[in-house]
Chain A
Amino acid sequence: MTALQHLATRYDVIVVGAGPAGMGAAVGALEGGVDRVLVVDREIEAGGILNQCIHSGFGLHHFGEELTGPEYAQRFLEQLLERDIEIATDCYVLDVAHDRTVTLMSPEIGVRRVAAGSVVLAMGARERTRGAIRIPGSRPAGVMTAGLAQRLVNQIGVLPGRRAVILGSGDIGLIMARRMTLEGIDVPGVFEIMTHANGLTRNIVQCLHDFDIPLHLSTTVVEIHGRDRVEQVTVAPVDDRLRPDLSRARTIACDTLLLSIGLIPENELSQKLGIRIDPATAGPVVSSAMETSRDGVFAGGNVVHIHDLVDFVTQESLLAGESAARFVTGRRRPADNIRLVAGSNVASVVPHTISSDSDHTVYLRVRRPLEKSWLRLGDVYERRLRYVVPAELVTLTVRPRFLERFHGDSLVIDIVPRDEPGRYEE
């Protein structure tokens, strides 16, 4: 997309990754007042995972209409091209140094060092694999992540097999159940170890029910069989402590096992850079400006925490890009003065700190589903929540007026059952 030979030696902002987060950060940087922005991606084109997510359901929040993944990506890409943002594709970022020198490598230019006023990390996430959940059995071909199958089917034009069992009820797995069925692959069932489905109800209905694909809850794959290729898998129900009951195991003939068992933020570069990582999100600890613990290094999107909607990735990375530009032009916002702490039934909180002088969007991931709960921010604010599930982020806008009478330096966020009246109820 960009002739790499014309690469400058210095940019105001360099963005690592040209997926939705990277493209959002680049646009945000320009809007934040800089003009020399470079976006680097190891793929042969910008767009990231959106290019293989050909189904619709993206963009309702950001564009106000329902788009497919490729359409969402291309709309953003057009904004980048209109604004002369440089995009280096087929290019790896090998290293980001403490002085923000970025080392690139590509077949076209070899290894090159480029200086950056600030850096935005937008590397996204990777799928968890078989190793992450240690499925016993042999190691034949045909075991792959749902996202890899999606790329094979939707971009490369290769079908992953003829009969595919899906483990995990995440949205990518559900989407692939439908996609493979439409391509003539038999899907005997989706198996989920938890008592509840991980994906959106919409996908349960439109990807499984519409095609009579059964969803087996509290059931998991306990063994993979086959020498060169998967021949069958053994599935078994699990108890309330997730232990499989092998006396009730059964085998299912298949040549493919798709895994849709979660995403992990991709933070090798961040770790090399010595950035503080939050064990709860597996992503960088960030301020309300999306700045990491390293001066001038910002982050946004799935590299920080796993989002459910691309629209929120965009929102967060526009902010990361704007902050990166402010860093370069010397217009940084005042430092945060309040630390946010994950409390009862809250698995993670992003950002990790906020300031009391402006509005902040805070993303929360709950641990357990709860019907009718209170969302409480220390003892300064509370709100009723109708229904929370781990699969859907809860968003909270913290406003300066909540904090008018607050003089502490940390606030605990709880999401607790609403079996007691609210603090401020009559």
Chain B
Amino acid sequence: MRDAPERITHYLCIGCPLGCRLEVEEDESGAIVEIRGFSCRKGKVFAEREHTDPRRMIATTVTVVGGRWPRLPVSVTEEVPRDRMWDVVKALRSVVIDAPVAMGEVIVADVAATGVDVVATRDMPLAEIAR
């Protein structure tokens, strides 16, 4: 039972171009028994994190009205759990904001109840008057 294949999860290390194939083995209770396949400390830390609490940055755009461009780029201020990614993206779909906007301005606070804010990643000046 200890070596049952369903207890081993595979990951690809993102630490460097080597791209080590990592294996995390866990016991029946879900506790990590062994991490294999890494060739440096970074790889081991990555595998553990990716196995227990994978997180991602999310960058997307929201609608902006009256700005230089029709889309305003936004980003979460810190990584959110990977399985909440779609919740965050969907929560931002209906957002409409008026120009001007300043870089760093909070567009949605505590997005999808993740505890993380979404901010503008650039200034969005008003559209120039058409020539």
Binding site for B on A (CB under 8 A): 44-45, 51, 54-56, 66, 68, 70-71, 73-74, 107, 153-157, 179, 182, 200-202, 204-206, 209-210, 386-387, 389, 391-392
Kindly list chain B residues whose C-beta atoms are within 8 Å of the C-beta of A386. 16, 18
Known contacts A54-B60, A56-B59, A392-B17; A74 and B73 CB within 8 A of each other: no
Cα(A68)–Cα(B103), bound, Å: 11
Known: A156-B71, A182-B60, A201-B19. 13 other contacts (CB 8 A): A44-B68, A66-B57, A68-B59, A68-B121, A70-B73, A74-B122, A153-B61, A155-B70, A155-B71, A157-B61, A157-B63, A204-B12, A391-B17
Docked complex Cα distance between A36 and B128 (Å) = 27
Contact across chains for A389 and B103 when beta carbons are under 8 A apart: no
Whether B122 and A70, one on each chain, are in contact in the complex, defined by CB atoms closer than 8 angstroms, is yes
Chain A residues closer than 8 Å to B75, beta-carbon distance: 54, 56, 68
Kindly list chain B residues whose C-beta atoms are within 8 Å of the C-beta of A66.
57
Does chain A have a CB within 8 A of B107? no
* Given contacts A44-B68, A154-B73, A56 and B57 within 8 Å (CB-CB): yes
Q: Does B82 lie at the interface of the complex (its beta carbon under 8 Å from any beta carbon of A)?
A: yes
CB distance from B78 to the nearest CB of A (A): 11
B59 to chain A, nearest CB (A): 5
Q: List chain B positions with a Cβ less than 8 A from chain A.
A: 11-14, 16-19, 56-57, 59-61, 63, 68-71, 73, 75, 82, 85, 89, 103, 121-123, 128, 131
Q: Which residue of B lies closest to A211 (CB)?
A: B85
Q: How far is the CA of A386 from the CA of B56 in the complex (A)?
A: 28
How would you classify the secondary structure of chain B's contact residues: helix, strand, loop or mixed? loop
**Least CB distance, B14 to chain A, in whole angstroms:** 4
Q: Which of A54, A107, A202, A206 contacts B61 (CB 8 A)?
A: A54
Q: Is the CB of A205 within 8 A of B14?
A: yes
Whether the pair A156, B13 counts as a contact (CB closer than 8 A) is no
Judge whether A157 and B70 touch: CB under 8 Å: yes
Alpha-carbon distance A112/B130, docked complex (angstroms): 23
Chain A residue at minimum C-beta to C-beta distance from B19? A201
Q: Which residues of A contact B14 (CB under 8 A)?
A: 200-202, 205-206
A201–B13 contact, CB under 8 A?
yes
**Contact present for B103 and A210 (CB under 8 Å):** no
User: Which residues from A are CB-within-8-Å of B57?
Assistant: 55-56, 66
Residues on the A chain within 8 Å of B89, using CB: 182
